[in-house]
Structure 1
Amino acid sequence: MEWINLLVDIVKPIVLAIITLIVGLAIIKAVVKVIGSQIEKSKLDDSLKPFLLSVISAGLKVLLVISVIGILGIPIASFVAILGAAGLAVGLAFQGSLANLAGGVLLLTIRPFKVGDYIEGAGYSGTVKAIQILYTELVTVDNKMIFIPNGNLSNAGITNYSVNSTRRVDFTFGVSYDADNQHVLQVLRTIITNHELVMQDPEPFVRLANHGDSSVDYAVKAWVKAEDYWTVYYDVLEDVKLTFDRENIGIPYPTMDINMSNE
């Protein structure tokens, strides 16, 4: 009878552990399904949803394994200590990847930009093609693909040029001190107001801005639609040069006087 009791003492926790494992996995599956449906209805980024779901599932399974180990009579404290030490070792080995992972979660949660936006950050600029968990993919204006670690991007200042529908184009034009001030102002106002892509509300700004060492500097500021920014920028630069030449408005350039002596 003793061996039967001993066998029961051995088999009982094993059977209970197996039942707990099976029932626990079924419960976790149901819970994850319910949470998944709620996450799908949320406004979180599509790239973040499966990641969060997998983290929740993994966390619940770890708790289930710890419970099963406790039923088998294995000291949970020792197991948790081993698990913690292993986690620390893995964390130290992959601290760069973990930083990128945390950065990816932060970017996908806060969403300072989205796919299709033109941004500048971490020393790079381009159109966002994809936001992955570890890296963000940018396509530059000359069609290069850049993979920026999310850890670097989340810790750097990010400029998003696509958030607002309008942008302001700023120019500074230097002219000769010999040029007539009112004439220059009139020419610049005509150029900027006559451009079909320049918004008239707010009204373009044209004023004398600075008395430089060799030039009088004029500031020109105009609002345009975001997608028209570069078209207006290059058009105005070209128009100003052509008009200044036609109106005999001098554009100064650096000069150097060299005095030679025979002494």
Structure 2
Amino acid sequence: MDWINLIVEMAISVGLAVITLLVGLAVIKVLVNVISTQISKSKLDESLKPFIMSVISIGLKLVLVVSVVGILGIPTASFVAILGSFGLALGLAFQGSLSNLAGGVLLLTMRPFKVGDYIDGAGYSGTVKAIQILYTELETPDNKMIYVPNGNLSNSGIVNYSVHDTRRVDFTFGVGYETNNAHVLQTLQRIVLKHPSVLLDPEPFIRLSGHGDSAVEYTVRVWTRAEDYWGVHFDILEEVKTTFDEENISIPYPQMAVHTIQE
């Protein structure tokens, strides 16, 4: 009857392991929710909160798995060794994921951006919504969500548009060679200075900057608050076209003169 006792013992161990697993998962879920609530109320940087919660959740689940293995009678030391070997093999198979993990740690350590910043990186642009263990979530202006692998993001150039409170808006306008230079400069200055979102310090820059093939080129550079960048950009473009038409300032287009020679 030894085999019956063995089966009973195994059944009891499996039952306890299953109960431990189910109860453990439920407890972990409650703990994660409680910790998440506390972390969300804390003064931690928004970029760190999702990362910390991911690490805590994974750590608690690993501890639960080791406990369940111990209940089943498997030596935990051997299991940990097997788990380490499996982790090594898995790491070799998923080198890209490990690169993303290292990239996530690097991004959170160096902090080239934080949640809420608008960035360009790895060929994508958007507002940072979260920095996860393996990827960063970017929300585009047209409400699409992009999941950028952290490895790619940490190994590419990153442009952060939200670091400073102000940004410079640059324009280049072309006018006909027959137009009076002083008239153009005065008109551009009037357009720029009457816009309520254009800052006067630093002072707007308006100068003739080039002689093109078909037009005289004027460079206009103005400073504005970062959140007003696109409003100023489009407003001034529209106002320049309207005012140039009213002031009879021509905006030429490329032309080609063709001369024919009759023999």
Q: TM-score, normalised by structure 2?
A: 0.71
Shift of 1:106: 1.4
Residue 203 of structure 1 corresponds to 203
Match of 2:231 in 1: 231
Letter in 1 for 2:207: R
Gaps of 5+ in 1: 1-35, 62-71
Q: Distance in 1 between matches of 2:135 and 2:55?
A: 17
> For residues 155-180 of structure 1, what are the alpha-carbon distances to aligned partners after superposition, in whole Å with 9 as ceiling and x for unaligned?
11111111111111111111111111
Query: Which whole-Å CA distance do the structure 2 matches of 1:242 and 1:57 have between them?
Result: 64
Residues 132-143 of structure 1: pairs in structure 2 closer than 5 A: 132-143=132-143
Distance 1:177 1:97, change over 3 A: same
SS at match of 1:169: strand
Paired-residue identity, %:
61
Q: Secondary structure at the match of 1:127?
A: strand
Q: Does 1:116 align with 2:119?
A: no
Q: Map 1:51-90 onto structure 2 (within 5 A).
A: 51=54, 86-90=86-90
What's 1:248 paired with?
A: 248
1:99 paired with 2:99, answer yes
**49-58 or 98-107, larger mean C-alpha shift:** 49-58
2:168 matches 1:168:
yes
TM-score, normalisation: structure 1: 0.71
- Which residue does 1:129 correspond to in 2? 129
Contact 2:51–2:131 (Cα < 8 Å) also in 1: no
Q: Kindly provide the amino acid, as one letter, of the partner of residue 132 in structure 1.
A: Q
Question: Equivalent residue for 1:8?
Answer: none
Query: Any idea what the Cα deviations from partners look like across 1:120-150, whole Å, max 9, x if unmatched?
Result: 1111111112211111111111111111111
> C-alpha displacement at 1:86, in angstroms?
4.0
Q: How far 1:189 sits from its partner (Å)?
A: 0.6
Tell me, in whole angstroms, the C-alpha distance in 1 between the residues paired with 2:248 and 2:43.
63
Q: 1:142 to 1:246 in 2, by over 3 A?
A: same
Structure 2: unaligned runs, 5 residues or longer: 1-34, 65-74
Measure the CA separation in 2 of the matches of 1:224 and 1:113.
21
Matched, 1:46 2:16: no
Q: Give distance in 1, aligned partners of 2:193 and 2:83.
A: 69
How far apart, CA to CA, are the structure 2 residues paired with 1:157 and 1:166? 21
Work out whether residues 47 and 108 of structure 1, in 8 Å CA contact, stay in contact via their aligned partners in 2. no
Instruction: State the 1:83 CA deviation.
Output: 6.7
**Cα distance between partner residues in 2 of 1:86 and 1:147:** 28
Q: Quick one: which amino acid aligns to residue 192 of structure 1?
A: V
CA deviation string 1:227-247 (max 9, x = no partner): 111111000000101111111
Matched length = 221
What is the Cα deviation at residue 208 of structure 1? 0.8
Larger Rg: 1
